[in-house]
Structure 1
């Protein structure tokens, strides 16, 4: 990742209000170094959307981040990026694809439209120990 991409990615996180990530840029770049990600660029070649996942590259992948700049939201970029990522993930034969997201109706509906379902509907539970705060 070059400096231009870093600046644009940092600005993208800021634009959607995910400042927990931008408080410590070194940690953000460490996260990217240990993740897989894809981006979408506008006509000027600027990064306006990204998806980032963490995987063992054999059985499971966690889609950690899906961000679309506010100026480009509701235009299908997030869906396009997610479909690209899902196609690549499935081509590797991953057995389980997980998403952690906010419990908001529009967000949940978005992921359900792409074939995701609540872990509760699958007879499972998801637990988290959040140490950010």
Structure 2
């Protein structure tokens, strides 16, 4: 009997990673264990691209394209609840910090590139299976 793969498993993995990175930011934000920039500029792009590729390959619905907006907003939320909130706490909430729209566009484009990559991987697999 063939096991059915869960199409939502990569997205669940992203949620777990997101929550763990939020916690890690606030626990290790000072000192030598500061991982905030590593997370923001390495782990998020890699995880968003990989999850977008997998979801594009496994989901057949057109609703999968909402993931592009989801990933853009999730990065904005991460930026606001980590870097922004930390800066506002240090300033005594005298200024409200807003996240940059550039990151929304960048990570949304990265998710779109992952979707396109997943689409072409699926097409290549279909063509190679038809030739056999």
In the superposition, the TM-score normalised over structure 1's length comes to 0.32
Bigger fraction of residues in helix: 2
Bigger-Rg structure (1/2): 2
Relative contact order, CA 8 A, sep 6+: which one is greater?
2
